[in-house]
Amino acid sequence: MKAVLLAGGKGARLRPLTYTIPKPLLPIGEKPILEEIIERLKTHGFRDLTIAVGYRAELIETYFRDGAQLGVRIDYVRETQPLGTAGPLALVRESVTLPPDEPLLVMNGDILTGLDLRAFVESHRTSAAELTVATREYQLQHPYGVIKVEDGRITGIVEKPAETDVISAGIYALQPSALDLVPAGRFFDMPDLVNALLAAGRGVAAYPFDDEWTAIDRLEQLEDAGRALAERHA
- The class (CATH top level) of 2-135+168-232 is alpha beta
For residue 234, pLDDT beyond 70: no
Return the domain boundaries, the chain.
2-135+168-232
Percent of the chain clearing pLDDT 90 (strictly above): 62
Phi and psi of 197, rounded to 5°?
A: -65, -45
Q: Please tell me the predicted confidence (pLDDT) of residue 220.
A: 74
Instruction: Outline where DSSP puts E strands in the chain.
Output: 2-7, 27-28, 31-32, 48-53, 73-78, 104-108, 111-113, 131-141, 146-150, 153-158, 162-174, 204-208, 213-215
42 vs 5: CA distance, rounded Å: 13
Q: Which of 4-13, 148-157, 162-171 has the weakest average pLDDT?
A: 4-13
| Residues 6+ away with beta carbon under 8 Å from 11 | 17, 18, 22, 23, 26, 55, 110
CA of 134: how far to CAs of 4, 24, 77, 116, 206, in Å?
15, 21, 24, 11, 6
Q: Between these two residues, 28 and 224, which has the higher pLDDT value?
A: 28
Q: How far apart are CA 225 and CA 120, in angstroms?
A: 22
**Confidence at 95, pLDDT banded by 50, 70, 90:** confident
115 pLDDT higher than 80: yes
Q: CA–CA separation, 44 vs 233, rounded Å?
A: 18
Mean pLDDT of the chain: 90
Q: Give the pLDDT of residue 22.
A: 87
Give the model's pLDDT for residue 101: 83
pTM: 0.89
In sequence order, the β-bridge partners of residue 73 are 48
> Are the CB atoms for 33 and 135 separated by under 8 Å?
no
Rounded to an integer, what distance in angstroms lies between the CA atom of residue 19 and that of residue 26? 11
